[in-house]
Each structure stands twice: as structure tokens, then as C-alpha cells.
Chain A
Amino acid sequence: MEVRDNTHSGHAVAHDVHDHGHDDHHHDHHQTFITKYIFSTDHKMISKQFLVTAIIMAFLAMGMSMIFRLQLAWPDETFPFLESMIGKWGKDGKLDSGFYLALVTIHGTIMVFMVLTGGLSGTFSNLLIPLQVGARDMASGLLNMLSFWFFAASSLVMFGSLFIEAGPASGGWTVYPPLSALPQAIPGSGLGMTLWLVSMVLFIVSALLGGINYVATVINLRTKGMSMTRLPLTVWAFLITAILGILSFPVLVAAALLLVFDRSMGTSFYLSDIFIGGVPLDHTGGSPILYQHLFWFLGHPEVYIVLLPALGLASEVISTMARKPIFGYKAMIGSMLVIAFLSFIVWGHHMFVTGMNPFLGSVFVFTTLLVAIPSAVKVFNYIATLWKANIVLSPAMLFAIGLVSFFITGGLTGIILGDSALDINLHDTYFVVAHFHIVMGSSAIFGMFAGVYHWFPRMYGRMMNKSLGYLHFWITIICVYGVFFPMHFIGLAGVPRRYYANTAYEGFDQLININELISVFAIIAGVAQVIFAFNFFYSIYRGRKAPQNPWNSNTLEWTAPVEHVHGNWPGPIPEVHRWPYDYSKPNAKEDFIPQTVPYSQTPESNRPGDF
């Protein structure tokens, strides 16, 4: 096999390999604890750092949701433990109405950014891009390390904002001004909002450093034979995601920066004609709607930044565990590209009721509903992949199937919300909450679970416990549907989201039973995640030792040694000879042919179109 040294830091890597290629232990260097676990530049370690940080943040955000679910289901009860837990915000066991808004705000922010963007892309782009394209590491190890540390700093600032006197940001995760610009309007818009903005800017730096690295690695560091059309769909998904992030996150910086100016320097980008706290403000000429345009110019691509990696992971898991090539490989790539392109011209569907020009609204209806076409293609391709497959139901596979189910359920309600005439009555109701929690939240988190169960052996060299994995899956999917499906009905009953209590309107009283049902499911779902956390951390130390290729997969990452080495492969980087989905090829000896096997070795199974 040809030796191919294709990293920028080739010399250093070659040195490592030379020194330690025959070393049975996994100490690549004489590394100290600090260089190995903290300031690591190894993509495999960085991916674990992202994952563990995201898991911690996810538990925090989930805990918040459990607190506000208690309030929504049992508004008249008192929960004395709240006071010991959150102090003055839960005085006498009653959740404070301002802190309720802080909880929904921080829950949303952490879940969308720290968990489903940083946690998902950060973990799996880092782990899988170099291993699946056949690179020794990321294009820049240093930028990669910085990407994690900016992410960690951002998470810390967000976490820290929970402990300040006036409380954290509480204007909703979209932080629309003027509410987010004026501390007079809500206490959370003081220091809490400042910290939120600082945290977001740090996060965006992290996302950009990571994104540039992912793109550079995929474009430049593919091993010999790894043409773009031989890339696993995971890598395609990460590449497109990274490009989306690079193009859209800077716009959020702009939005945030103008908000900072309005908040602290007296400018009027978003503020005009405001009378608050008994006095008129001097701001004039700005438009709060400008912020929404800027925010959603990021915000909508953000949905796909969250979703595409999950779909990529699911594609890989479904094909591998179904022992069948993914149906319509090129259509899958094409549909991701179309979704990515369209995601930049649909942002206005978040703003149908802001008074925007109706003609502009029509354009956004048109582009929004177009997104359903490539999405439908993806769903049909997944289902076609399962048709006449030979399915092994590993926990990862179950989660991948769950993802497809959620993608269908949540995607379909998007057709209704994308229709401006229908959106008028559903906008900002629980119907929207149900829609995006299913299509973006649950789908993406199921993709993440599928990824963790599937690639855990690659991350930690051990297997996770399967039975606990199954248990985790079943409780979670039942509870997720139990939580979010009934929310459609609450929305259709006209209940607005972000209401501390549904006492304003007498007609909402009869919905309390649905809210109780939802909260029961939410609490069970939350507790069930402890099973996952236990399985995860226990298996790191005590899991069964992983075999070289536990799922009989074709992709390159399973050719690297189980014990991690710096530079991924102790010898030369493997060369690639075929696409990644040669599963169950007729006449082949086994039901999978890894990408590293040349056609010359498989004359029995070669097909006319293969060369």
C-alpha cells in the first residue's frame, strides 16, 4: 500500500508513528495529563471533550424543562424542594413567573446551541471527519483545540449567568429586542442578557473555528482514492453543515453586536418610539423587525445545522445495520445540498405576523414549502433502504429509525406552519412548540444518540451495554411522543407558548389534563436519561472491550486500531478503492466489503458500473 503523508503537520505525525507504532500501550507521547486531556490537539480527544460537555449541558437544560413542566401541569401546587434548589426564584415552593421565562430561555439556548450544534457537530465532525476521510488529524489541531475551548468558555458563561442577582436572560431564546434591549422591560435584560450575548459570541467563534477546520479537512485531507463521491454521507452532512455555519453565524454576530450597541451605547438600530417605566426614551428611527431578519437569517439555517449531521449519522447507521446500501446515495447528497441552499431563503416564515409585506410573505411561503421536496426524498430513500434489507436492531439502529419517524411527524406539521394563511392562527402557539421539538429537537437528539451508541466503540474502545441501550430507547421514544404529540392539540386550542400559567382565559382550564399528561411523560423521559448517562460513563471504564469492527462496517474509521494512536493509523494511511455502501453485494464472500478492499480482490462480486 502506498504511504501517503497528507497532513500539514506531517513531520510531527510521522515522528509519532515511528516512535510508537509498535507500542502496545496507548501513550503516544510522554504526554502529561494537561496535554492529553485538557489542551489536546487530537481530534479524537477533542470530540470526547465536546461530547462530555454537551451531555452535562443537556442534563442542565433538561432539568430546567422538568421544573417548568411542573409549573405548567400543577400551577396551584407548591414544591418545597424548589426553594432549596433555586432559592429566591422558588420562594415557598412556587416558581417565580420571571424565572419561568428565564428557564425557557436558557433551556432553548443551551439545547439549540450547546447541545445540538456544539455537541452534535463538535463531537461527530471531530471524530468522524479525519477517521472517515483518512486523515491523520484535522487540518489545524490548534484551531480545533481553540474551537473546543471557546465552546467550553461559552458554556461556562451561560451557566454562570444563572447565578447572578437579576437572573439570566429571559426574553426567549430568540431574544427579540426591545424586550432584550431594555432592563426596564424585564429584569433578565440586564447583566443576564449581557452574559448571554458574551456567551453567544464565544460560541460563534467556536463554531467558526470548527467549521473552517471541518471544511478544510474534507476538501484537502482525503486519502488516496477518496473522491467526493466515495465519501460516507456522514462526511457530506458535516461538510454541508460546516458551510452553512460559516455563512450564517457571522450574521448572528452582526445582530448581536447591533444589540450590544443599542443596549450600551445609545444607538437606535432596533429601537424606536419607546415609552417605558413612565418615561419616553430618546431612541428613534430603528426597527425591532430588523433584528428578526438578521436573527432568522442565521436561525433558519441553524435548524439544518442541527438536523443535517443527525441525518448524516442516521444514513450511515441505517445503511450499516440494514446491511444494505443506502438507497439513492447521490440523491441523498443532492437533497442535502438543496435543503442547505433553500435554508438561506426561507427565514421569513418565522415572521409572517410581523406585518411584513404580504408579497414578501408569499415568496417565503413558496420557498419554505419547497424544502418539503428534498426532505420527502430523504424520507423515501430511508424507507427504500429498509425495504428488503437484513436489519440488525442495535440500539443505534433503533434510534436512527426513531429519528426517521420524528422527521416525518415533525416535518409534516411544518407544511402547515409554512403556509402563511394557516400560520396566522398557529404562530407562537404550542403547535409550533410541538413541531420544532419533534422535527429538530427530538430528531437531532435521536441522531446524536444513534451516533453515540454506534461510534462509542470507536471513541472509547469499549462497547456500551446493549440492554440498557434498548431500555433507554423504548422509554425515550414513548415519552418523546407522549410529551410532544399532545402539544399539537394544546396549540390547536389556541394556547400561546411561554405562558407561565394558562389562567388568563377560562377556556384553557380544560386543557390541564393534557398538560399533566405531558409533564408525567417529560419527567419519566428525564429520569430515563440517567440510564443513558450511567451506561455511557460506566462503559467508558467497564464496558466490554470493542472488537476491531463491531458492526461489520465498510468505512475507514473501523480500520484504525481500537486503541487510539496519535495520527490515527500506526502505519500508512489506508487507500480507498470503492464507495462506502457495498453491503450485501451479490456473490461477495461476506455481506460487506470495506472501502479499503480493491476491486481486483473481489472479481466475484464486481459489477459493470463499478469501475
Chain B
Amino acid sequence: MMITILLGTLVVIRLMSVSQMASVLSGEDEDVAQKRDNSMNSIGMMLFMVIGLALMVYMTIKYQPFMLPVAASVHGAETDFLLNINFAVIGVVFFITQVMLFWFVYKYQHNKNRRALFYPDNHKLELIWTVVPTIVLSALIVTGLREWNKMTQGHPDDGMVVQVYGYQFNWITRYSGPDNKLGRSYYKLISDTNPLGIDYSDPASKDDIMTKGNEMHLPKGVPIQFIFNSRDVIHSAYFPHFRTQMNCVPGMDTRFYMEATITTNEMKGITKNEKFDYVLLCNKICGVAHYNMKMTVVVDEPAEFSNWLKGEKKIIDAAPTAELEQNNTTASTVNTEVAL
């Protein structure tokens, strides 16, 4: 609200000075009027810069408590660190260039008796401001790509396999069970009782566990290999607190490796918020209820997680007999390839 009032006042001040200008303008020599306009506006520029930069700093501090809490995943802590370095670099460049821009506009106001400096180029200067950004950017590229490679390629293929499946407008998660393999699925097998279209003739499906509805659980400190898909349109599985996001694309599988580092209970302490919960949101426009497509994520200690998982029913135990006996000759597509 403070900001609204401050900026509102600024607007009113400008309004007043402009109306003054207009009245002055009517009976004056054009040179004098232009001089007045120049000085009013360049003072405006300085005020705008100083107040604007001050407000930006103020907002950055004020809004800190609203920002995402500390990253709750291994890679997230690293990308956050990288993000802060990037912000520091661009922040410095931002301040220097904006201050120069507005300061020059203020300082070099028009004066009839003066000429601008005829200074069409300077190869040395141009070389400097080509090479310096190149070096800084190279550093950012190298650090960024190192992190990217680590996240995407440095993982063993043996994380706990969890499927996240999007549909209008909810999520389903499937745990691969002791064999750590998801049973095959095929979209034409989807039914009310088999929402993932699982092919029960695949032995790998026998120990799969599905949770549908409002909650998924993840163990702390265990590498997880997420496999994402969708049955209808593109969704995007976005876990802001884990700094994790991947699109769910019908007809192909996408993957993401991560390891949670903070349990929900620990996070409640960190955020000093008893009601804190991790969340999975849909972050790709997917239809009219896009904004409501979410699931609560609970990170447990590994032991708690195993207990919870034991309590969940195997998919195959809940499947109607008719579907189990169905001959799955139609299930010709094996849906577990990594998509490029």
C-alpha cells in the first residue's frame, strides 16, 4: 500500500507540474518553453530513477517472506545458489546502466550555446564492451551448464521410479513397488477402474501401487526417478519447493531425477507455518480448471514412507476381475521409452 501511495503522489506531482507547464507554454517563446520542459523532465527522470531504484530495493526486502522457502531438494539448493549469483551479476549491471542512462539525460540537458561532443565511435571502447560481457556470460554459461548436466545426466538409472500422470484436471501417482519397474500401460485400456490403462498381463504391474486424489508421498534422502505422462493434453508437473518441473506429454514419457532433502514436518519448522504443505501444480495451460489442478506432496522420513506405502493397496488387488482376465492383445505400444 505504501508503494501505491508513494507512486500515486509522484503521479499527482507530475500532473501538477505538467499543467503548470501547459499554462506557461501558451504565451512563451518556444526556446524558453523547451528549456523549461527539458529541465522539468530531466528532474523527473532523476526522481524517477532514485525513487524507482529505492522502491525496487524496498520491495525486494519487503517481499522476501513471500518468496519460496529454502529449496527442499539436492539440485534445488544448487540452482538457488546459482540463481543468487546470477541475480548479483545482473543486479550490478542493472544499477550501473540505469543510473548512467538517467544521469546522462539529466546532466546533458540541451543548451543552445553548447554543442554535443561529436563522437561517432571508438573501437577500443566497443571492443571492451563486447569482450567484457562475453567473459561474464561465458562464466554464467559454464556454471549453468555444469549444473544442468549434473541434473540431467549425472544420475544413476536406479532412483526409485515414481510415475506422475496428469489428466484434466487432476494427478495420479504410481509407485513401482519392490521391482522398481512400472507395468506397461496403453491408453486404450483406460477405464474408470483402470485410469492409467495398465496392462495387467505385464508382470511388472503386479506390485505397482497407485495413489489417486489429493496426496502423494515421497521419502526424504532417496533419489527419485520421476516418469511423467498425460492422457489428454500437455500438463506440466511443477513442484516449486523442489525447483522441479517437467511437462507431461500425451504419447511420450518425460523424466526428472531429484532427491528431497527436507521433510514436510521439518519445513513446517523452517517456515514457522504449521499449515505448510508441499504442492504439485499444473503449470501448462490445460483447460478451464487449469488453476485448480494440484496435489499435496508429503515428504516423509524413509521409514515413515515405507510404512505409508505398505498401507496402500496394490493396483492389481483393486482391479475388477473382468479387466484382469481381459486378453491384452491390443496393448502393443510399450510406453516406457525415454522421449527425446
Does chain A have a CB within 8 A of B151? yes
Residue numbers in A under 8 Å from B184 (CB-CB):
none
Fill in one digit per residue for A492-514: 1 if any B CB lies within 8 Å of its CB, else 0.
11101011111111110011011
Indicate if the CB atoms of B137 and A185 lie closer than 8 Å.
no
Given contacts A353-B247, A355-B252, is CB(A185)–CB(B287) below 8 Å? yes
Fill in one digit per residue for B58-95: 1 if any A CB lies within 8 Å of its CB, else 0.
01100101111000000010010011001101100110
Q: How many whole Å from B333's CB to the nearest CB in chain A?
A: 7
Given contacts A323-B110, A419-B140, A427-B245, is CB(A405)–CB(B101) below 8 Å? yes
Fill in one digit per residue for A394-428: 1 if any B CB lies within 8 Å of its CB, else 0.
00001001001100110011011001111011011
Does chain A have a CB within 8 A of B328? no
Fill in one digit per residue for B130-174: 1 if any A CB lies within 8 Å of its CB, else 0.
100110010011001101110111000000000000011000000
Indicate if the CB atoms of A358 and B97 lie closer than 8 Å.
no
Residue numbers in B under 8 Å from A330 (CB-CB):
121
Give the residue of B144, B186, B281 whose beta carbon is less than 8 angstroms from that of A505. B281
Does chain B have a CB within 8 A of A257? no
Q: Which of B7-15, B175-183, B304-312, B317-325 sits within the interface?
A: B7-15
Give the residue of A178, A360, A493 whose beta carbon is less than 8 angstroms from that of B250. A178
Does chain A have a CB within 8 A of B21? yes
Given contacts A276-B168, A505-B294, is CB(A496)–CB(B250) below 8 Å? no
Indicate if the CB atoms of B52 and A389 lie closer than 8 Å.
no
Give complex CA distance A485, B48 in Å.
Answer: 14
Does chain A have a CB within 8 A of B117? yes
Indicate if the CB atoms of B11 and A408 lie closer than 8 Å.
no
Does chain B have a CB within 8 A of A383? yes
Given contacts A358-B152, A361-B148, A379-B97, is CB(A478)–CB(B48) below 8 Å? yes
Q: How many whole Å from A161's CB to the nearest CB in chain B?
A: 18
Given contacts A489-B59, A494-B240, is CB(A499)–CB(B291) below 8 Å? yes
Does chain B have a CB within 8 A of A456? no
Residues of B94-144 whose CB lies within 8 A of A: 94, 97-98, 100-102, 104-105, 108-111, 114-122, 125-126, 129-130, 133-134, 137, 140-141, 144
Q: Which of A206-214, A230-238, A285-293 sits within the interface?
A: A285-293
Given contacts A178-B233, A409-B94, is CB(A353)–CB(B250) below 8 Å? no
Indicate if the CB atoms of B90 and A416 lie closer than 8 Å.
yes
Residues of B171-230 whose CB lies within 8 A of A: 186-188, 190, 197, 228
Does chain A have a CB within 8 A of B45? yes
Residues of B266-281 whose CB lies within 8 A of A: 275-277, 279, 281
Q: How many whole Å from A285's CB to the nearest CB in chain B?
A: 8
Fill in one digit per residue for B35-72: 1 if any A CB lies within 8 Å of its CB, else 0.
00110111011001000100010011001011110000
Does chain A have a CB within 8 A of B303? no
Given contacts A467-B18, A493-B67, is CB(A329)–CB(B120) below 8 Å? yes
Give the residue of A365, A376, A421, A428 whose beta carbon is less than 8 angstroms from that of B284. A428
Does chain B have a CB within 8 A of A536? no
Residues of A454-498 whose CB lies within 8 A of B: 466-467, 470-471, 474-475, 477-478, 481-482, 485-486, 489, 492-494, 496, 498
Q: Which of A30-38, A195-203, A577-585 sits within the interface?
A: A577-585
Given contacts A393-B38, A420-B144, is CB(A353)–CB(B236) below 8 Å? yes
Give the residue of B86, B125, B251 whose beta carbon is less than 8 angstroms from that of A422. B86
Give complex CA distance A288, B231 in Å.
Answer: 12
Taking CB as reference atom, which chain B residue is nearest A494?
B240
Does chain B have a CB within 8 A of A81? no
Residue numbers in B under 8 Å from A97 (CB-CB):
288-289, 291
Residue numbers in B under 8 Å from A498 (CB-CB):
285, 290-291
Given contacts A372-B133, A422-B86, is CB(A500)–CB(B291) below 8 Å? yes
Q: B interface, how many residues as a size bin? A: 35 or more
Give complex CA distance A477, B14 in Å.
Answer: 12
Indicate if the CB atoms of B115 and A327 lie closer than 8 Å.
no
Residue numbers in A under 8 Å from B167 (CB-CB):
275
Does chain B have a CB within 8 A of A601? no
Give complex CA distance A514, B56 in Å.
Answer: 13
Give complex CA distance A301, B3 in Å.
Answer: 37
Residue numbers in A under 8 Å from B293 (CB-CB):
504
Indicate if the CB atoms of A424 and B129 lie closer than 8 Å.
no
Give the residue of A381, A424, A500 whose beta carbon is less than 8 angstroms from that of B245. A424
Q: How many whole Å from A48's CB to the nearest CB in chain B?
A: 27
Taking CB as reference atom, which chain A residue is nearest B241?
A494
Does chain B have a CB within 8 A of A190? no
Does chain B have a CB within 8 A of A517? yes
Known: A186-B288, A511-B66. 16 other contacts (CB 8 A): A176-B285, A272-B251, A275-B188, A355-B252, A361-B152, A370-B137, A377-B133, A387-B117, A390-B110, A401-B101, A408-B94, A425-B76, A467-B25, A496-B238, A504-B281, A504-B292
8 A–B contact pairs at CB < 8 A? A185-B286, A370-B137, A391-B38, A416-B83, A420-B144, A478-B48, A494-B68, A591-B115
